[in-house]
C-alpha cells in the first residue's frame, strides 16, 4: 500500500511519515469494513474511473483520507478526516489548491446525495466509494457493516439500515459517471434490494 501512496505524494520524509500514519489508521483493530481492503478497492475503482475526473490525483489523495478518521460518527468522521488532510498534505508538498480540493472531496463523502451537477472529481470519488455495492462480495460488505455496528441492537440497526438502503434505491441512479453506471448499476440495485427484503418482511 505504501507504494501506492508514494506514487502520489513522493518519497520525502514527510510523505513517508504521512503514508505510514495513514496505513496505521486504516489498520485500526476496531474497523471491520473501513479497512485497508476498502481503501485498496476505492483506489482501484478511482483509477478505473480516472478519465472521468478533472483532477485524478486529487481524487486519489481524497480516497486515502476519506475514512482516515473512523470512529463510527457520520459527518464528524469525515470532517476530522478533512482536517487531517489539510494538516498533512502541505508538508508533503501538495499545492494549496489541491489540498483544498482534497478536503472538499473528503467532506463530500459524508453525504453522497449532496454532490452538485458537473462535479466531476466528486462524481468519481463517490462512485469509487460505492463500487462495492455492485461488486461480487456484497454479502461480505454487508456483514462487515453489521460488525462495525455490533453495539447497535438488532431492531435499531434494521431500522437504520433499511432507511439507508431505501434512500439509495430511491434515486434515479446510484452512480454519477457513465462508466460506473455501465459497470455496477444493475448489480448494485439487485444487491441492495436483496439486503432490504428481509428487513421489509419484518416491518
pLDDT the model gives residue 111? 81
Q: Do 56 and 112 have their domain in common?
A: yes
Question: Roughly what angle, to the nearest 10 degrees, separates helices 56-65 and 120-129?
Answer: 40
Q: Are residues 106 and 148 in the same domain?
A: no
Range of the domain at 173: 130-203
Residue 83 in this model has a pLDDT that exceeds 90: yes
Domain boundary among 121, 153, 171: 121
Average pLDDT for the chain? 94
Whether residue 144 sits in one domain with residue 93: no
Does one domain contain both 98 and 134?
A: no
Kindly report the three-state secondary structure assignment for every residue of 124-169: HHHHHHCHHHHCCCHHHHHHHHHHHCCCCCHHHHHHHHHHHHHHHH
Q: Cell numbers at residue 18, please?
A: 504521512
The per-residue pLDDT for 202 is 63
pTM, two decimal places: 0.93
Domain boundary among 63, 86, 121: 121
Pair 140, 94 in one domain: no
Same domain assignment for residues 136 and 109? no
Q: Are residues 15 and 102 in the same domain?
A: yes
Of the candidates 77, 99, 121, which is a domain's last residue?
121
Number of structural domains found in the chain: 2
Q: Are residues 26 and 49 in the same domain?
A: yes
pLDDT for position 147: 92
Chain segment 134-174, per-residue pLDDT in tens: 999 999 999 999 998 888 999 999 999 999 999 999 989 99
Q: Given pLDDT bands bounded at 50, 70 and 90, which one contains residue 26?
A: very high
Taking 70 as the threshold, does the pLDDT of residue 203 lie above it? no
User: Same domain, yes or no, for 81 and 139?
Assistant: no
Amino acid at each position: 500500500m505504501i507504494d501506492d501512496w508514494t506514487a502520489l505524494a513522493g518519497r520525502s520524509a514527510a510523505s513517508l511519515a504521512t503514508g505510514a500514519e495513514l496505513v496505521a489508521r486504516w489498520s485500526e483493530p476496531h474497523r471491520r469494513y473501513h479497512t485497508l481492503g476498502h481503501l485498496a478497492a476505492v483506489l482501484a475503482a478511482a483509477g478505473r474511473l480516472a478519465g472521468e475526473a478533472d483532477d485524478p490525483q486529487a481524487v486519489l489523495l481524497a480516497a486515502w483520507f476519506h475514512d482516515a478518521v473512523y470512529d463510527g460518527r457520520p459527518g464528524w468522521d469525515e470532517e476530522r478526516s478533512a482536517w487531517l488532510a489539510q494538516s498533512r498534505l502541505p508538508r508533503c508538498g501538495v499545492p494549496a489548491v489541491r489540498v483544498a480540493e482534497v478536503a472538499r472531496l473528503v467532506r463530500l463523502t459524508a453525504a453522497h446525495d449532496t454532490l452538485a451537477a458537473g462535479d466531476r472529481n466528486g462524481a468519481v470519488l463517490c462512485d469509487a466509494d460505492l463500487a462495492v455495492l455492485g461488486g461480487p462480495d456484497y454479502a461480505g460488505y454487508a456483514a462487515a457493516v453489521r460488525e462495525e455496528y455490533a453495539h447497535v441492537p438488532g431492531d435499531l440497526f434494521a431500522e437504520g439500515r433499511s432507511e439507508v438502503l431505501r434512500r439509495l434505491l430511491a434515486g434515479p441512479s446510484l452512480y454519477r459517471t457513465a462508466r460506473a453506471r455501465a459497470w455496477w448499476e444493475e448489480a448494485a440495485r439487485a444487491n441492495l434490494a436483496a439486503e432490504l427484503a428481509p428487513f421489509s418482511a419484518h416491518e
